[in-house]
Structure 1
Amino acid sequence: MSYPGYPPAGGSYPPASGPYQQAPGGYPPQPGAYPPQGGYYPPQPGAYPPGAGYPPQAGGYPAAPGGGFPPQAGGYPAAQPGTYPNMPPAGQSGGWGGQPGFGAPGGGMPQGYPGVPAPGQQPMPAFPGAPNPSMPGYGGGVPTGPTPPAAPAVNKGYRGTIKDFPGADPLRDVEVLRKAMKGFGTDENAIIELLGTRSNKQRVPLKAAYKTTYGKDLVSDLKSEVKGDFEDLVLAMLKAPAHFDASELKEAISGAGTDEACLIEILSSRSNAEILEINKVYKAEYGKSLEDAISSDTSGHFRRLLVSLSQGNRDEKETVDISLAKQEAQKLHAAGENKVGTDESQFNAILCARSKPHLRQVFHEYQQMCGKDIEKSICSEMSGNVESGMVAVVKCIKNTAAYFAERLHKAMQGVGTKDRTLIRIMVSRSEVDMLDIRQEYLRQYGKSLYTAISGDTTGDYKKLLLKLCGGSD
């Protein structure tokens, strides 16, 4: 059996050599489909990108009005009757990226995310995520007043590396996967090519489509065919974001020793809506609240820090009160450098409750007042997990892409690779800010992230990671 636009039945997938030859009637679709033939930018109401503009906030995640990445009411969508798991109904926002889910009722292409224009709309610049000068930048994260803090330049346009594959059909995609796993041996290249060119909202429905078509479990079949780090990466890519984060938190808490850095990484970098959805999934999957799990496995001020972050209750307004930022910088100075002993609870209250744009201003005021970075003050006043946790929160708020670049570098540094960290960051950031992380990696370490991954990993695992990386710099 063959389908228009997909590889012919008699050949391997992907083709063994030469450029992909499109079958008549295949990709690209006929007029009116992707890429659109007419229409102009800016998009019409309801299309991608959102009217408020998109790129990431200075030093932070891509933000919708109200802050966070992107904070949708209720977090990731619950499954709706008749749709694939975790996909929102047509016309509603939600999920990772806040656009109509793949496979939602109503038919047609999902609108826009990640980076695919709506029908009748001018396509975005060519991959990998070249800036679009006409695209309005979301400026709410820039503090007002005469002394704005230093912040990384805001990059315009979509900053992920993985985008929706135009016209992808889960029923056709699972046939490709089934063919790759049938018979003698496994066609790993076919699995890499398919998963590495589908967005998360196009990958997640494959599990339901596979079971519908073949009466078998896709995850079980993949486990029997692929092994090691490649298996872990493939299975991570088939999880919805909230489910993936919940499983990573569970492993960080209950695995061999507590992975404190993983707990801080996830809880300090997700939006309120995402954290609330993670809490729901964690309770449903593991029969215990995330807060209780954290409380039973950590202690002291580090536990307080994690519990505060796990509430998903950070202020997400984009406005900055300069006078309040000055006051809070003084409070932090009084609680640390200017006090015998350290009042960690004052740091906790400010770092976990205030908005990220506001905190960037607080850090700037602190630097102006004390003549030193707040991270250095924390390191001189605290120790152990609470020190590393507080420093990580500050770094993530100051410049999220730089924080993740450092995490990736440490994961690949020295003898042995922290593969769980490498997989988690590459999967979870591939549709968020991977282009920015690549820029920061090159700036900080003098070589591209692509080169670092190539030198530290091997085989099919390396090939799929490089798909997520998206290219060299």
Structure 2
Amino acid sequence: MGEQGTVKPCKHFNPERDAGLLYGNLRGLASDSSYSAIINILSKRSSAQRVEILFGYHAMYGRDLIQDIKSGLSGDFQQTAASMLLTPAEYDATSLYKALKGLKIEARVLVEILLTRSAEEIKCMKESYSVKYHRSLETDIEQSCSGNLKTFLLKIVALSPDCDIQKKISSEFHGEFKDALKSQLKVIESKPQFFVEKLYRSMKGVGTDDETLMRIIITRCEVDLRDIKTSFQATHGKSLSKFIEGDTSGSYRKLLLAIVDQ
């Protein structure tokens, strides 16, 4: 877990107590206090602790917490809350599948995830992808992508820990595609600033790219979200929280701000 994350493990963690609170509050959603209780639990537990709650909930009630959240909540709040109960590898695998199997390939999502994760994280997401979808990530990249993008992504998902991506790009690609990859890689090597611009673009102008907003907040909240917040303020002269306040609403906004403002 990164020291610059906003979400830390709860020191007095009790998964059975949290499971009980979630069970009760998911059945009392007419009151604002129930939404607040759900937000308080999800935003103040580490990913590993949230997974423990998930298992505890099933053991105590014989029910799937993610399914209860999907049936009890709605909209972006529901999607964010449900996503927070996945392991990082499961969430990455889910995001990659959506990017590969939607109406069109979302190359920016594929590049964002695969170029900002370590070799060990890629290994874990590949395993999760195989378990969840009963097919390999490589197979879906092979079938869904083409040209230089396919070649590049397949090279990335086969990285070893000591692989030098810069050298691989220089030796295996040419022309404008190579230059574009090198430029992208330079940005990604400064990860906080890379995510600052992704977050900014997700909220600027009319409408919000909620998929990108929630994906970055959830995946970076235990890694480097504090650094991202600092860089965001320095770059755009306005805090990340203020941008989120202006672009989101309701319980969804409250959950994102609870994660960001710790």
TM-score, normalised by the number of residues in structure 2: 0.92
Structure 1's unaligned 5+ residue stretches are: 1-96, 98-113, 115-157, 318-324, 329-344, 351-377
Pick aligned residue for 2:185 from 389, 393, 407:
393
Secondary structure in 2 matching 1:165 = coil
Distance 1:468 1:390 in 2: 33
Letter in 2 for 1:466: L
Distance 2:81 2:13 in 1: 18
Report the counterpart of residue 67 of structure 2 in structure 1. Answer: 220
Letter in 2 for 1:272: A
**Offset of 1:390 from its aligned partner?**
4.7
- More helix per residue: 1 or 2? 2
Given that 1:162 and 1:470 are in contact with CA atoms closer than 8 Å, whether structure 2 keeps it comes out as: no
CA distances 1:75-95 after superposition (whole Å, capped 9, x unpaired): xxxxxxxxxxxxxxxxxxxxx
**Percent of aligned positions that are identical:** 34
Report the counterpart of residue 447 of structure 1 in structure 2. Answer: 238
Distance 2:223 2:100 in 1: 25
Residue pairs, 1:297-308, within 5 angstroms: 297-308=144-155
For structure 1, which segment, 242-251 or 283-292, has the greater mean C-alpha deviation from structure 2 after superposition? 283-292
Letter in 2 for 1:192: I
Given that 1:438 and 1:448 are in contact with CA atoms closer than 8 Å, whether structure 2 keeps it comes out as: yes
**Offset of 1:223 from its aligned partner?**
1.2
Given that 2:90 and 2:128 are in contact with CA atoms closer than 8 Å, whether structure 1 keeps it comes out as: yes
**Offset of 1:315 from its aligned partner?**
1.9
Q: Taking structure 1 as reference, are residues 297 and 388 closer, same or farther at Cα in structure 2, changes over 3 Å only?
A: farther
Q: Is the aligned partner of 1:168 residue 2:10?
A: no
Report the counterpart of residue 88 of structure 2 in structure 1. Answer: 241
Report the counterpart of residue 207 of structure 1 in structure 2. Answer: 54
Pick aligned residue for 2:26 from 181, 194, 201:
181
Report which of the two structures shows the higher radius of gyration computed on alpha carbons: 1
CA distances 1:204-223 after superposition (whole Å, capped 9, x unpaired): 11111111111111112111
CA distances 1:191-211 after superposition (whole Å, capped 9, x unpaired): 001111111111111111111
**Offset of 1:348 from its aligned partner?**
6.0
Distance 1:455 1:348 in 2: 45
Q: Taking structure 1 as reference, are residues 346 and 393 closer, same or farther at Cα in structure 2, changes over 3 Å only?
A: closer
Report the counterpart of residue 37 of structure 2 in structure 1. Answer: 190
Please report the RMSD computed on the Cα atoms of aligned residues, expressed in angstroms: 2.2
Letter in 1 for 2:261: G
Residue pairs, 1:111-130, within 5 angstroms: none
Residue pairs, 1:16-415, within 5 angstroms: 97=1, 158-183=3-28, 185=30, 187-315=34-162, 346-347=169-170, 349=172, 381-382=175-176, 389-397=181-189, 399-415=190-206
Higher relative contact order (CA 8 A, sep 6+): 2
Structure 2's unaligned 5+ residue stretches are: none
Letter in 2 for 1:178: Y
**Offset of 1:302 from its aligned partner?**
1.4
Q: How many residues align?
A: 259
Letter in 2 for 1:242: A
Secondary structure in 2 matching 1:243 = helix
Report the counterpart of residue 52 of structure 1 in structure 2. Answer: none
CA distances 1:374-400 after superposition (whole Å, capped 9, x unpaired): xxxx9xx526xx765553333102x11
Pick aligned residue for 2:250 from 442, 451, 459:
459
